[in-house]
Structure 1
Amino acid sequence: MNIDNIEAFVYVIHYGSFNKAAEILFLSQPSVTARIQSLERELDCKLFDRLGKQIQLTEEGKRFLPYAQSILQTLQKGRLHLHQKKALPNELRIGCTVSVSNYVLPHLLPAFKEIYPDIHFKVITSGTDDIVHKVLGKEIDIGFVRHTNHPNLQSVKLYEDPIRLHVYEGHPFIGDPDLTIERIGHDPFVFFECGALDWIRIHRAFEELNEPPAIVYHTDNLETAKKLVLEKAGISFLPSLCAFEEVSSGKLFPIDFPEVAGISLQTNMIALGGEHTTYFNSLQKLAKEHPFFR
């Protein structure tokens, strides 16, 4: 069945006349009439009754109309999808902090790949300031950074990651209802530090003590801190996402106490304003729906 004939049929109905449909389609009025007649022969029925200059759908025409409209809508969606895929780059350059690279992207990118199977990824790991600079310079398409604002960037909060004290299996703090910050401060500490204000708040939680916490290991690497705790070398404040698997398997245990309640690391997703909107929105939607981030 000829799509042009179906298009002429729908346009005649929409604009109420053969002449107007011909004008919109950049055709002559006899050409539109010929297309309608060809469609009527294909369907073996009469689609219009002509009453002088007026036209009116027949019962057959009324029944066929929703199918004709559906065919054109499906065709238009297909065209848009093809044009969109042509406009999207085959490579998506992603800049992210180390923690996002280790604990977030392995959960997001496979799901994203299912939506855009032809895409491949280039992941650049760096600090927040460097990633912002690279996004502004169009060296990176989408960045995952600590909370930041810039007038030329679109930025949305992707998730908040609570910072909690984590101890190893069998530690005496587990299940202790009388645990105090004083007792916590005397236990050997593995202190992970990334320079963010949230970590300064952790330090301040111990300022009222007569002695500083017993920091035995000081590191700027999350994996190092976590593995030292797993080896029972000490206890550590860790972002919850980095310890998700170990907590799920019973190897690490989060301990909550009031002095550090509500401290978390916020991760934002950024891109240049008005650019990469399709990918940006898809990643945001995936993060909201993925059980790992709930």
Structure 2
Amino acid sequence: MNIENIEAFVYVIHCGSFNKAAEALFLSQPSVTARIKTLEQELNCKLFIRDGKQVQISEDGKRFLPFAQQMLHTYNTGKLYLNQKKSLPNEYRIGCTISAANYMVSDLIPYLKESFPAASFKIITGTSDSIATKTLNKEVDIGLVRKLQHPALQSHRLYVDPIRLYVYRDHPFHLDNGHISVEEVAKEPLVFFECGSLDWLRIHRIFENLEQPPNIGIQTDNSEAARKLIIRGAGIGFLPSLSVRQDVAEGLLVPVLLPETEGIALQTNVIACPGEHAELYAAVVQFSKKWCASDC
């Protein structure tokens, strides 16, 4: 059944005549008449009663009208939906760790919007392993994860985030101009942020040779919770530098030199399936070079 024939039928009823329907549809009157006749043949009934120049809808026409209107409405709605989908920007799905979401994405997305003005972006957070799996399964287009190598993924280093000891501004370590020892740190109440990274295990190792274990009063897997607890004086702790850069600038937290932690850092990489979303992948790499030059 041709939707144009149904359209002609509905327009004739709506406009009140074949001539007015033809004008509304930008057709000739014979074309509208031909469409109605074809529809009547398909339905095997008369839709209109013709009396000279007068045309009235038949009983069969009245019964068919609500179905014709519904079909025409459904067709036009579907057509509008498809046209809208064609005009909508591409959606890029970016998977990332909580850390990348908190401290990098807010700068990354505006940069990508400049490079891809017609695109929309969806941020999906998870662990590095889960984001890698989503990337492999094409559930995300690229991933921002901890240092990770996978034979089926391409990977590029975005930034390296040093792990340092931070104390609140009134803590005695802040006032001590000399080097702080691991033994002194171990005696202090510690707010211990545990991110699960292999690099983070090196923080544990600096306390391995002590006679007494470190005084870990609070453990959390959330860097934001650890950061706020340290600011409020609940203890001191080791944190990625990016997570506290604003607090350090405002004097709320103070980094303390501890030689044993030199070189310990968390690395974040961008990953993608080889050959896919190459422009997006390259744009993220380019962004990281500019971003690290000013912020890392």
Instruction: State if a TM-score over 0.5 links the two structures.
Output: yes
Instruction: Give the secondary structure class of the aligned counterpart of 2:201.
Output: helix
Greater Cα radius of gyration, structure 1 or 2:
2
Instruction: Give the secondary structure class of the aligned counterpart of 2:199.
Output: helix
1:205 aligns to what?
206
- Alignment check: 8 A CA contact 1:159 1:293 kept: no
Instruction: Give the secondary structure class of the aligned counterpart of 1:195.
Output: coil
> Residue 106 and residue 89 in structure 1: after superposition, are their counterparts in 2 closer, same or farther (change >3 A)?
same
1:71 aligns to what?
none
Instruction: Give the secondary structure class of the aligned counterpart of 2:172.
Output: coil
Shift of 1:89: 6.6
Structure 1: gaps (5+ residues)? 1-85
Deviations 1:149-182, CA, capped at 9 Å, x for gaps: 1222111000110000111112111243142111
Q: Percent identity?
A: 50
Instruction: Give the secondary structure class of the aligned counterpart of 1:269.
Output: strand
Deviations 1:229-266, CA, capped at 9 Å, x for gaps: 01111001000011111111111111121111100001
2:136 aligns to what?
136
What does residue range 41-56 of structure 1 map to in structure 2 within 5 Å?
A: none
The amino acid across from 1:117 in the alignment is: P
Instruction: Name the Cα RMSD after superposition.
Output: 1.6
1:217 aligns to what?
218
1:251 aligns to what?
252
The amino acid across from 2:199 in the alignment is: D
Shift of 1:276: 0.6
Instruction: Give the secondary structure class of the aligned counterpart of 1:111.
Output: helix
Deviations 1:71-101, CA, capped at 9 Å, x for gaps: xxxxxxxxxxxxxxx9x97111000011111
- Alignment check: 8 A CA contact 1:287 1:293 kept: no
1:226 aligns to what?
227
Partners of 1:205 and 1:192 in 2: CA distance: 15
| Equivalent pairs, count | 208
Partners of 2:163 and 2:225 in 1: CA distance: 16
Partners of 1:246 and 1:178 in 2: CA distance: 22
What does residue range 29-108 of structure 1 map to in structure 2 within 5 Å?
A: 90-108=90-108
Partners of 2:200 and 2:96 in 1: CA distance: 19
Instruction: Give the secondary structure class of the aligned counterpart of 1:226.
Output: helix
1:39 aligns to what?
none
Partners of 1:106 and 1:292 in 2: CA distance: 15
Partners of 1:233 and 1:109 in 2: CA distance: 34
Partners of 2:248 and 2:117 in 1: CA distance: 33
2:111 aligns to what?
111
Partners of 1:292 and 1:209 in 2: CA distance: 39
Partners of 1:277 and 1:195 in 2: CA distance: 30
- Alignment check: 8 A CA contact 2:240 2:266 kept: yes
Partners of 2:196 and 2:227 in 1: CA distance: 18
1:172 aligns to what?
172
The amino acid across from 1:257 in the alignment is: L
Instruction: Give the secondary structure class of the aligned counterpart of 1:173.
Output: helix
TM-score normalised by length of structure 2: 0.68
The amino acid across from 2:214 in the alignment is: P
TM-score normalised by length of structure 1: 0.68
1:154 equivalent in alignment to 2:154? yes
Deviations 1:128-162, CA, capped at 9 Å, x for gaps: 11111110111100100111112221110001100
